[in-house]
Structure 1
């Protein structure tokens, strides 16, 4: 098992993560993680190839962009007068109904 790297105190522009580090960072399983890393529309391309390495500062910028897009989508879906709506309310509901 690959040990989790402590990234605290490191300069993000000079910190490179390999595929295993990126997969652990996002909590993906091994198969799904490698599929996600190959999908260039989902994850930014690596800065170094052979072996693939991603710069931490680029991953942090990508994370912030994804969070901003998710928050904007939530704000667009929720009317201003409905402040009691949460993200889980917007998820698809179960098709099964409990018998009473």
Structure 2
């Protein structure tokens, strides 16, 4: 596989990765507190390795939030349910 530092995603590819629609996707991509800034501009491109690191940080934060809750049986709660959900679910 290619070195992930050399894999760049366009805005459409980032939105597809997270299941965001066009309007919500562009709003999210402009929010620097939510998504890391693109490494290239004109056209915007995001490095895949940075997006994966951002995903891992978000998962760690979600797991910490889950641990902070007084959940008697953690197996019943899926940590991905605590992450921002896509607007639409694609059917298989």
TM range (shorter): 0.7 to 0.9
Whole-Å separation in 2 of the counterparts to 1:73 and 1:26: 21
Structure with greater helix percent: 2
Rg (Cα) greater in structure: 1
CA distance in 2, matches of 1:87, 1:53: 31
Number of equivalent positions: 80
Alignment partners' CA distance in 1, 2:2 and 2:17: 15
TM-score by length of 1: 0.72
- Partner residue of 1:29 out of 12, 21, 28: 21
Structure 2-normalised TM-score? Answer: 0.78
C-alpha RMSD of matched pairs (Å): 2.1
Query: Structure 2 regions of 5+ residues with no counterpart?
Result: 83-92
If asked which structure has higher relative contact order (CA below 8 Å, sep 6+), I would say 2
Unaligned runs of 5+ in 1: 1-8, 92-100
